[in-house]
Amino acid sequence: MGLYTKLPGAVDEVDVIIAGGGTAGCVVASRLADAHPALSILLIEGGSNNEMPTIEYPAFFMSHLAPDSKTNLFYMAKQSSEVADRALIMPAGGVLGGGSSTNMMMYSRAQRSDWDSWKAPGWSADDMLPFLKKLETYHGKDEKGVHGNDGPIHISRGTYNLSKIADECIAAASKLGWPEVEDLSDLDSVNALWRAKRFISPDGKRQDAASCYLHPRIRDGKHPNLHVLVESQVIRILLDEKKAVGVEFRPNPLFHPDDTNQVSRSVKARKLVIASCGACGTPSLLERSGIGEKNVLERAGVPVVVDLPGVGNGYEDHHLLGYPYLNTLAPTDTLDGLVLGRMGSYEDLVKNNEKMLGWNGQEVQAKVRPTDAEVAALGPEFQKAWDKEFKEYPDKPLGIINVIAGFPGDLRLATGDPCLAVTAFTVYPFSRGHIHITGPNVGDPVDFETGFFADEGQLDIKKHMWLYKKQREVIRRMTSYRGEMAQCHPPFAANSSAASVKLSEGPLPADVPDIEYSAEDEVVLEKWLRENVSTTWHSLGTCKMLPQAERGVVDSTLSVYGVQGLKIADLSIAPRNVAANTNDTALAVGERAADIFIKELALNSA
């Protein structure tokens, strides 16, 4: 057993192979190892081991977005006229633990309607609640009894909070009719906000799937048949006719540049192969293995084993915008003060156990939906879509607002002033994209279209126009508000009532009216949104759990159609989107998947 950068030669056949060591993969490997101590398991991860300070200490999460990062993968999409002819870049976890090791650690659960909308046996909200509870130890009030108290992932407020921001934001939002609630992750609450919980332990450590599930089992001496191989890329799944019997992998050249031969190696699986490479990686693995849409495989020069058109299609992500604001915070009140070195060196901060290291800067999260009048104002097409998708589901928000003490993006664009910011993303996008291979090799580029703002009715852009206006009304009612960082907001005309302001003295009056936007302002806003929209790292839905006739790839037991002994366990299986940051959903998918596999393996061994 152990964690390796080079797999021992003696490990040439195991019972179960997990291709991908991301969030769900780590959960599945750990739960299988617990359930069947004699079961031999090999997990293969393309990235490195995640035991490093920039992962352990939450405040350094932005380091994983650096262009030279070795902890994230960066998928380049095609240019699109819908986003101002830009080629968007989608980050995804590229280290053991996947996105749970590199994300912003926002704790946010899917709504009850989200799970129910999957319409898959065993995946309703009632079915999933035991797994949502199983994964967590929740540090907070749980009046509805929907949280766990003995799971591996600790959910808390961490070691540092800036109550001033939360207090002001909550007071401002209440003027718009959005109250504070104790628990916004109770599966039902909406049009409300809360003092955000995080995937951070009470002692200030990141709660990722590798650290909380996998590493304890590697070290405890009780799981001798659990093998974890890092820095190795799975090239393809080995198929005997239409049965998965193993994988072929190679050293990752990013970590082994001197291994010029890059000789591949195969390991056999006696019982099961599980693909867990994420929404961007799993479709490519299947396609390189000959499983996918016939035309895609033929263009890429891959022999077709199973013609499965749903693979790689239906890509979804939440559309994100960040808005920084001028304020009266002190230079060391925000996360920028730490990241930019105003609070001392990285080494000294760690040595002195600085409390801000256990903080992600997020203070408030809100899930919001428009009033009937606001829906009508968005036009008849939007009204029709609203009536179909939202009207009868009062727990479904249209967007999510996060209030953060720090600059919401590339710090090279920051002015150096203390930053109060909003990150806002819309949920349930109408637009869809795809991701496919272009050749048979791991290093070949992907054919990737995000589909952002490309939906036929152009409803996604209307959602963001509404969300921009709403979040702005909250922030400008905060007493510390002193205007917008104009360079990061739409360039409304100087004579427009919507133009950015810079207040020289004091906050706005308590009874300040809402901003009125002219037709010209609407044009400016739409253009700016297209020029600045980005990813929320919430990729999903590229191997959907749907009937095969509906372009599904897996059934409700996560079995790949047409292939025996092959499962998928990651967010690629999500048939419909969720109104949440997706890490919690990924963990829950891992727990549910493990439960399915454990039961099947027990039956097979009987």
Rounded Cα distance, 214 and 26, in Å = 6
Q: Do 334 and 412 fall within a single domain?
A: yes
Give the model's pLDDT for residue 67. 85
Question: Do 184 and 229 belong to one domain?
Answer: no
pLDDT-based confidence at residue 418 (cuts at 50, 70, 90): confident
Tell me which of 504 and 193 has the higher pLDDT.
193
Note whether 331 and 211 are same-domain residues: no
Q: Are residues 494 and 424 in the same domain?
A: yes
Q: What b-and-e string marks burial along 85-117, b requiring 16 or more CB atoms within 10 Å of the CB?
A: ebebebbbbbbbbbbbbbbbbbbbbbbbbbbbb
Question: Do 191 and 237 have their domain in common?
Answer: no
Asked whether residue 603 carries a pLDDT value surpassing 50, the answer given is no
Structural domain including 129 reads 107-203+318-535
pLDDT of residue 590: 98
Q: Please report whether residue 84 resides in a domain.
A: no
| pLDDT, position 1 | 63
pLDDT for the residue numbered 513: 94
Q: Are residues 493 and 381 in the same domain?
A: yes
Instruction: For residue 227, report the phi and psi dihedrals to the nearest 5 degrees.
Output: -115, 135
Within a domain: 70: no
Rounded Cα distance between 406 and 337, Å, is 8
Q: Are 116 and 96 a contacting pair, CB within 8 Å?
A: no
- Residue with the bigger pLDDT between 198 and 351: it is 198
pLDDT digits (tens, 9 = 90+) for 325-337: 999 988 788 888 8
For range 435-447, the mean pLDDT: 97
Rounded percentage of the chain residues whose pLDDT exceeds 70: 98
- Which tens digit of pLDDT belongs to each residue from 256-300? 988 666 789 999 999 999 999 999 999 999 999 999 999 999 999
For 46-61, write each residue's pLDDT tens digit: 999 999 999 999 999 9
Element (H, E) at 388: helix 380-389
- Do 182 and 211 lie in one domain? The reply is no
Q: Cβ distance 569 to 274 under 8 Å?
A: yes
Residue 78 in domain: no
Residue 62 domain-assigned (yes or no): no
- The band of 352, judged by pLDDT with boundaries at 50, 70 and 90, is confident
Tell me: pLDDT of 209 over 90: yes
Q: In this prediction, what percent of the chain has a pLDDT beyond 90? A: 88
Looking at the structure of the chain, the number of domains it has is 2
Nearest residue to 486 (alpha-carbon basis) of 299, 334, 348, 324: 324
Residue for token digits 């970590």? 255
Q: Among 343, 320, 321, 326, which residue's Cα sits nearest to residue 419?
A: 326
Q: How many CB atoms lie within 10 A of CB 364?
A: 23
Q: How far apart are CA 58 and CA 359, in angstroms?
A: 6
| Residue 446 pLDDT class (50, 70, 90 cuts) | very high
Same-domain pairing of 383 and 431: yes
Kindly report the CATH number assigned to the domain that includes residue 254. 3.50.50.60
Q: Is 305 helix (H, G, I), strand (E, B) or coil?
A: coil
Strands (E), 377-432: 399-405, 420-426
Q: What is the mean pLDDT of the chain?
A: 95
pLDDT given at position 247: 98
How does pLDDT run across 75-114, given as a tens digit for each residue?
Answer: 999 999 999 999 999 999 999 999 999 999 999 999 999 9
Residue 385 falls inside a structural domain:
yes
Q: What end-to-end distance do the CA atoms of the chain give, in Å?
A: 25
Same domain as 390, residue 355: yes
Residue 467 shares a structural domain with residue 370: yes
Does a structural domain hold residue 512?
Answer: yes
What confidence category does residue 606 fall into, taking pLDDT thresholds of 50, 70 and 90? very low
- pTM for the model stands at 0.97
Contact 437, 284 (CB under 8 A): yes
Does 384 share its domain with 444?
yes
3-state SS, residue 420: strand
Residues 6+ apart with CB under 8 A from 4: 227, 228, 229, 230
Residues 359 and 246 in one domain: no
Give the span between the Cα atoms of 154 and 167, in whole angstroms. Answer: 24
Which tokens belong to 316?
């979804």
Residue 63 lies in a domain: no
Whether residue 57 is contained in a domain is answered as: no
553-587 tens-digit pLDDT: 999 999 999 999 999 999 999 999 999 999 999 99
CA 185 remoteness from chain centre: 16
DSSP state of 213: I
Q: Which residues contact 399 (CB under 8 A, 6 or more apart)?
A: 367, 368, 369, 424, 425, 426, 427, 463, 464, 466, 467, 470
pLDDT for position 313: 98
Residue 604 reports pLDDT greater than 50: no
pLDDT of residue 162: 92
CATH number (domain holding residue 391): 3.30.560.10
Give catalytic residue positions: 538
